[in-house]
Structure 1
Amino acid sequence: MVWRKKSGVGGGGQSPCRGGCVDEEEVPRGHVPIVARGGDGDGERVLVPVRLLSYPSIAELLDMAAQRYGYDQPGVLRVPCEAGHFRRVVDGAMQRCGVSSA
């Protein structure tokens, strides 16, 4: 699993991404970048394997994101969850589903 502290969005407008990428690194095939936002407004970028998106704990967090932010979020998907908690949820799902951390 790759964890990165969120960098500034926009970066001078030179990013090739639409809708404001978190950073300019490419997302590996089969992963979705998700930003877990803590109470301080700061966020941490997490690359989540696509096959974990239907895992019940992660699906519940995605439902919470839809309720809070709507379905038309610009840029990277955000979840209303403290970054440490989100890491634990994703790590637990990876262990239970047998997904290796690349």
Structure 2
Amino acid sequence: MGFRLPSLILSSRQILKHRSGFSRKQPDVPKGHVAVYVGEEQRKRFVVPISYLNHPSFAELLNRAEEEFGFNHPTGGLTIPCKEDAFINLTSQLHSS
């Protein structure tokens, strides 16, 4: 399975641009971070550094989110359709690298 990195970066920027209003409404999202909702049934909110969005593994999650929800998700937040444990494992790896 291949993907083009420039299109992933563009998608990340589109998501951030679309969600920037959402982040401003959430005072607990520090500058340089974005809030995401993760989970398949019950969603949990995470705040992650924007730098994660350019990592290929995280970008793949963003592509899945776009395919499943598009950019206009009814809850108003960026929702990532994966298991919470898998997301925590990925962000732990990104944090330690």
TM-score in terms of structure 2 length = 0.68
State the 4+ residue runs in structure 1 displaced beyond 4 angstroms.
Answer: none
Q: 2:39 aligns with which of 23, 37, 40?
A: 37
Give, as a single letter, the amino acid of the residue that structure 1 aligns with 2:34.
V
| RMSD over equivalenced CA pairs, Å | 2.2
How many corresponding residue pairs? Answer: 75
Percent identity over the alignment is: 31
Amino acid in structure 2 at the alignment position of 1:27: V
Higher share in strand = 1
> What residue is the counterpart of 2:49 in the other structure?
49
Give the distance between the partners of 1:86 and 1:65, measured in 2 at CA. Answer: 13
Instruction: Report the equivalent of 2:29.
Output: 27
**1:24-63, CA deviations, whole angstroms, 9 ceiling, x for partnerless residues?**
652111100001013xx21111111001101011000000
Amino acid corresponding to residue 83 of structure 1 in structure 2: E
Match of 2:4 in 1: none
Distance 1:51 1:42 in 2: 26
Amino acid at match of 1:37: G
Partner of 2:81: 80
Measure the CA separation in 1 of the matches of 2:89 and 2:47: 13
Alignment of 1:81-96 (within 5 A): 81-96=82-97
Instruction: Give 1:71 shift.
Output: 1.9
Tell me, in whole angstroms, the C-alpha distance in 2 between the residues paired with 1:33 and 1:71: 15
Listed as ranges, the gaps of 5+ residues in structure 2 are 1-20
